[in-house]
């Protein structure tokens, strides 16, 4: 692992003069502050909060201006002042939805703002999880690169040993070619690795911007996972938390539909000016809705809103089951990978190294050909690469669990930092 860190820190040496290396925590903080995905959700939160201010308020009053009883025939036709019934009228009208309807609208708007906030938290966790996965993917790919550097040095020593064997009269002339062939195979695998590292940098840039090209620094963090705690708190998953305000919003819409069966009302005050020979008039009138046909109007709307509430509740239950299944699968993979990694380090790697040592000793003693040595070396190389692959797979699985099910899903620093950037 120390060699891996040296390789990671050695990449992009010239860039160190103008930019700092990118640590795991720095990548998370940078992504949280600058992600356009979070900016989208932040705008949604602010829009929903602004909309909730007006929810439940009375509608705007209406100004009425007009003429009543304007004569169009007879001697007074066309006059605004000669007929005692003619008035120039100005007034104000105010519609008043019933209290239940206003309360339901206000509750629905508040729930919508809570929903937007919950979705924003999901976005933050998603960005941090995906940034962590991108950083880890690049880190372990570069660890493989450091291993190839070490293998190149070992291959040079191996080539000199084979040359010495041939010069001492042991071995076949073709043996001298074998280390060169192995070096060419390593070069081919290194080219593939370079392409994968370039792709991993592009993925990291997606979350951190130009900083994704900077050299990495530090080791991956040890993400603490408590299996029993994770299983016991799956219902607190951030995506499930979104359904709390969604359910409240659906309930408020049911209440609003039910409130539509109660009448709304309105009031109008008007002042009527007549000719100078007549008195001016003031009028006051009220209006009242008559929901007389609830069976074909309000009742179907109520039924529709209740079905929507049922849909939201069923969707939440389906997602809960999905996350329970996902958590169990991720935990199983994590546990299997942990055991495989431990077995590889305790058994496979030492045995592969012993096999190489024994085969090479036999080759130098003239008791084995070079083919057996090369085969053992390839097995050892594959085991060392598998160690990095398993370590990276285990770290990636831990990150998925930590940021969506573990302590990372409730980390106050993640949300307080993002709040401060708004």
- The reported pTM is 0.81
Instruction: Please give the chain's pLDDT, 422 residues, in tens.
Output: 444 444 444 444 333 334 689 999 999 999 999 999 999 999 999 999 999 999 989 999 999 999 999 999 988 888 888 888 989 999 999 999 999 999 999 999 999 999 999 999 999 999 999 999 999 999 999 998 888 787 777 777 666 766 666 566 655 666 666 677 777 887 888 888 899 999 999 999 999 999 999 999 999 998 888 888 888 889 889 999 999 999 999 999 999 999 999 999 999 999 999 988 899 999 999 999 999 999 999 999 999 999 999 999 999 999 999 999 999 999 999 999 999 999 999 999 999 999 988 888 887 777 767 777 778 888 888 899 999 999 999 999 999 999 988 888 777 566 654 444 44
Per-residue DSSP letter, 216: B
**CATH code of the domain containing 63:** 1.20.1600.10
HEC profile of 89-132: EEEEEEEECCHHHHHHHHHHHHHHHHHHHHHHHHHHHHHHHHHH
Please report the DSSP string for 306-323 in residue order.
HHHHHHHHHHHHHHHHHH
Q: Is 261 within 8 Å of 294 (Cβ atoms)?
A: yes
- Domain with 150, as residue range(s), is 2-13+22-420
Q: Count of domains in the chain?
A: 1
Q: Is 305 within 8 Å of 111 (Cβ atoms)?
A: no
């Amino acid at each position: 692992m120390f060699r891996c860190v040296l390789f990671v820190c050695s990449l992009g040496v010239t860039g160190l003069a103008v930019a700092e290396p990118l640590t795991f925590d720095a990548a998370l903080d940078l992504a949280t502050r600058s992600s356009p995905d979070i900016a989208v959700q932040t705008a949604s939160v602010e829009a929903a909060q602004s909309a909730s201010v007006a929810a439940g308020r009375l509608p705007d009053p209406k100004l009425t201006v007009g003429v009543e009883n304007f004569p169009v025939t007879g001697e007074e036709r066309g006059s605004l002042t000669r007929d005692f019934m003619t008035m120039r009228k100005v007034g104000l009208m105010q519609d008043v939805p019933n209290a239940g309807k206003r309360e339901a609208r206000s509750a629905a708007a508040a729930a919508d703002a809570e929903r937007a906030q919950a979705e924003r938290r999901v976005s933050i966790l998603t960005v941090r999880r995906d940034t962590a996965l991108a950083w880890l993917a690049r880190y372990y790919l570069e660890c493989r690169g450091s291993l190839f550097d070490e293998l190149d040095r070992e291959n040079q020593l191996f080539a000199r040993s084979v040359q010495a064997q041939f010069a001492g009269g042991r071995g076949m002339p073709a043996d001298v070619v074998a280390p060169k062939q192995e070096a060419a195979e390593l070069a081919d695998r290194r080219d593939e690795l370079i392409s994968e590292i370039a792709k991993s940098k592009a993925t990291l840039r997606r979350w951190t911007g130009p900083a994704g090209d900077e050299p990495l620094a530090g080791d991956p963090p040890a993400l603490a996972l408590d299996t029993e705690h994770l299983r016991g708190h799956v219902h607190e998953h951030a995506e499930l938390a979104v359904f709390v305000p969604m359910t409240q919003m659906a309930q408020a819409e049911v209440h609003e539909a039910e409130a539509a069966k109660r009448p709304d009302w309105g009031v109008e005050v008007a002042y009527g000016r007549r000719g100078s020979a007549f008195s001016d008039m003031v009028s006051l009138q009220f209006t009242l809705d008559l929901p007389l046909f609830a069976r074909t109007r309000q009742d179907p709307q109520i039924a529709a809103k209740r079905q929507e509430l049922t849909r939201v509740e069923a969707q939440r239950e389906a997602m809960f089951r999905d996350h329970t299944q996902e958590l169990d699968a991720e935990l199983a993979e994590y546990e299997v990978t942990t055991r495989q990694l431990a077995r590889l380090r305790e058994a496979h790697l030492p045995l592969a190294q012993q096999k190489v040592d024994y085969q090479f000793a036999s080759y130098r003693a003239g008791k084995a050909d070079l083919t057996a040595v090369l085969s053992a070396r390839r097995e050892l190389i594959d085991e060392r690469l598998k160690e990095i692959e398993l370590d990276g797979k285990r770290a990636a699985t831990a990150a998925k669990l930590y940021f969506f099910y573990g302590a990372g899903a409730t980390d106050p620093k993640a949300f307080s930092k993002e709040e401060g950037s708004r």
